[in-house]
Chain A
Amino acid sequence: MIHIDVEAPLARFLLKVDLVLDERATAIMGPSGAGKTSLLEAVAGLRPRTRGRIVVDGEVLLDSAAGVRLAPEARRIGWVPQDAGLFPHLSAHDNVRFGASGDRRRVDAAIEALEIASLLDRRPAALSGGEKQRVALARALATGPRLLLLDEPLAGLDVALRERVLPWLQRIRDEWDVKLLYVTHHLGEAIALAGDLVLLRDGAVEARGAPIALAARPGASRASASGLENLRRGRVAAHDPAGGITTVELAGGIAVAIPLAPELPVGTAATLAVRAEDLLVAYAEVPGLSARNQYPARVRCVLPGDADAVVEFEVGGDTAPWLARLTLSAVDALGLEPGRRAWLAVKSHSIRVV
């Protein structure tokens, strides 16, 4: 168990966090400048003005009241920053060996786990973004840390690369005896990796819970290969062969038009999936729209990322929020903020029955 109860002065506010982490992986999200990186630095021992208590698996790393302050090198905490932070003057191999103090077995295991054997002779400058991240992960793992701090390890990577590196993080989580504290801007990543999500704002914990529960509700959304999806259970209400439409009624009386699915008899249960990317948002009902589904909604919260944002909507009587992924410019243009009214639209063909 990890107990982090710290206070550290930052430029604009005080970082003040009291967290008990039980899960193997905990995600930290929040807007830029919320104190996410500072929190990791405080845990790693790299912020000298941190006060409070940090206990990892029974060992006290920091207890400012009792005058205990372990140096970073004595904490057994690994740190992988956003740009990997490889030592540019050393080869990938020397990077991985840097902190391992002769423990070859661990080094070899880390090299094998992250499949970087073919990269070892290269300098960091000759590695791609994803390769750098894997080398940095191996370097941290080779020292045998009990906690790994990951600061947006996938942020600099394009979507395809993210999806290639993410499984390695999942393997580390599942196969190595190390806990992960993971800063990310992507809800999908948090859901895929972490059992616990902490939302930071202005240095304080704004919300806390399981990623799905926090971002949505259990069973309401999931991270899949295609990104973040809204999942809804409903009942087939009617078929309209002439219009090519099947209507599914969701909880709260929301009727959803999907492409004709005659194989589903009227009255049977169906689960619908809509990708967060496929939800259109308008500030008023749009007349003459081809999309067959339009619903009045209200913004519950905005989870900004580095390039886009996930916006949570309340729709009608549906208790589970709907997640839409929008560009930051769209969020800005529509003035989306908690409480704001909006309309959600989705094409029938963007809805899958799962």
Chain B
Amino acid sequence: MLYFSRFKVFSIFLIFIFGVYFFIPNFLSLNNNFFFTDKKVNLGLDLQGGSYILLEIDSKPLIDQKIQAKSLDLRRELRKKNINYNNFIVGINSLSFNFNPNQRNLVNELLSDSSINSNIGTSGKELTISVDNDKVNIIFTNELLNLIKKNALEQSIEIVRNRIDELGTKEPNIITRGSDRILVELPGLKDPSEIKKLLGKTAKLTFRFLSNSNDENSLGVEILNSPKKDFKYNVEKRIIISGENLIDAQPGFDQLSNSSVVNFKLDNLGSRKFALASKNNIGRNLAIVLDNEVISAPVIRDAIVTGNGQISGNFSSQESNELAILLRSGALPAPLNIIEERSVGPDLGKESIEKGVLSLLIGMLLVVLYMIYNYRIFGVFANISLFANLILIVSTLSIFGSTLTLPGIAGIILTVGMAVDSNVLIYERVKEELKIEKNNLIAFDTAYKKVLTTILDSNITTLIAAFVLYYMGSGPVKGFAITLAIGIISTFFTTYVFGRYLVSIYVKKNKENLIKI
């Protein structure tokens, strides 16, 4: 146990050279240094400041839309085939109706048609259909519901990305979580309120006409509010063009009305539709509707053929800017709700680092003194391996680009406290062995041998706890688990391998002397 081959000694020092090489860049602010890498420990949001926002897609409106569309399709087909039906009920994700049992064959034929019940993937179906005596029950399958969610998620994440990129934050991390969630991490952001505001709107834009009739109940007309004026508009449901036809939107300023506006540009199809509609409706009021609110209702004075237009609605310059971003990045298929938010200001992050480092230094100092007090020269060996340990932990974090969080720093400090455990175990064992064995070499050798299983057993239990933490925990807690796990492994190396090497040198030199621990 006390013999180290040259190769082994060489490997130990090689590891430390690597360690130091990756340790140093964390404390230098050198860019493109030719000697050191630019790999550094990745600071978590709680240390560098920033926002963690978890969004959930409200897919209910989409499922609602789908069920409405399905019921229209089905009723049209039923009429086409002259099937008599009644009691047609539209549920949350189900349909049902009654039919005349004489027409059973016709009904079965219709329901097995793939235009009504399309395939999903290779084996799935959109609907689960059950036919009783004279009643049909149709339920959306889980495959269909998942497909709706999946599509919505894919579309949404693109649009979320667009909107956040528009604000120019640095290195945002935007990923999906589960089947209906989007995680947005914005490092270094001081105030997330702007981004939250942008993410809170679906931004469905439609151009329609105000209704001529004042009859509130007339078909194809709905009553919509205006956000600025306390006013209600009767707006036709028919849509002339929608946000999809927009190819650009920019904030601008209108000299005439002295207010901020949004200038937009339509694609070819949109331009043609808009030109035709405006030509035929000169004198009528257009309704520009955003998320079921009328933001502006200008009178059409001329046919608009260029495909360029302007939205004015008493905007402040910030509002017009926001609207332009929303229109450029596109509409979300469904509303996004913020279900979790954690934001830390950059100065608090800095303070946390300072306090973390301070408590690390003090904790370490206390441990170092304690070890020297207890074990004298062997305490010094333990302390050298402790410093080596710290370097290895930090460099391992740098190499893997792992994230260091505030609890992560606490994990390192805890490791400092627990790291000496292996040393304590070894030295206490050596004491016992020295009582029965007079030969120093043999006593140390047996102690190291005997203590190995104990060290392994006790460290593996802590590793188990760290792995559970890593899998179950989130954000900062994960950071704690990472440093704890890295700490345990590097502790084993620094105390049992490196520390043993230091001890072996000392013991070999003092073979004949009385060693006192």
Q: Do A and B come from one complex?
A: no
